[in-house]
Amino acid sequence: MIIRKEQNQDKVILAPEGRLDTVTAPELEKEIQALPAEVKDLTMDLEKLEYISSAGLRVLLATQKKMNATGGEMKVCRANETVLEIFEVTGFSDILTLV
C-alpha cells in the first residue's frame, strides 16, 4: 500500500491510500513504529483511504494508546463515508479525535 508521509520536526502527517486490512495494516504499523519518540503531533489523513478493516482499526487503536501514554496527540481527518460509518459502528468515533 502507498503511505504518504510528511514530517515537519515533531509534526507528522501519515496518509495511507487504498484498503487498510489484514494484508496492509502491518505496513502502516511498521511506519508508525519507526516514528521517532519526539513526535507529539500525528495526523492520519484518510482522504484516499477506501476501506478499513478490524486489523486497520487495531493499528489506529494501538497508536492512539501510544500517543496517550507519551502525552502526544493523534488526529484523524478527511475520512470518507464508508470509513466514518465503520468508526461509528465500532465505537471508534468516541475514542479517536476526528477533525
Partner 1 sequence: MTFHFTPSDLINVLFISGGIGICLLYFLLISASAHLRKEVRRYFQVFFSLILLYISAHLARQIMDGIPGAAVRTWLYIVTFLEIIAAGFMTHILALLVIVVCRLERKRSLSLVAVSYSILMIHVILLIVGWPLDLIYYFDAGNVYHRGAGYLLSNLCPLLLLLFNSILLLRHRERILPKIRLAFWIYMIAPIIAIIIQSFSSSIQYIIFASVGASVYMFAVIVQNQNDDYEKQKQENTRLDAELSMASRIQSSMLPSIFPPFPGREEFDIFASMDPAKEVGGDFFDFFLVDEDHLCMVMADVSGKGVPAALFMMASKIILANNAMMGKSPAQILTDTNASICSNNREEMFVTVWLGILEISTGKLTAANAGHEYPVLRHPDGAYELIRDKHGFVIGGMEGAKYKEYELTLEKGSKLFLYTDGVPEATDGAGEMFGPERMLAALNSAPDDAPRDILKTVRAAVDSFVKDAEQFDDLTMLCLEYKKAKGE
Single out the residue of 68, 69, 76, 72 nearest to residue 96, CA to CA: 76
Whole-Å CA distances, 70 to 21, 36, 38, 74 = 26, 12, 9, 11
Binding mask 35-64 for partner 1 (x = CB under 8 A): ---------------xx-xxx-xx--xx--
Q: Is residue 90 close enough to count as binding partner 1 by CB under 8 A?
A: yes
Given 30, 65, 70, 73, the residue binding partner 1 (CB under 8 A): 65
Interface ranges with partner 1 (CB under 8 A)? 21-22, 50-51, 53-55, 57-58, 61-62, 65, 82, 88-92, 94-95
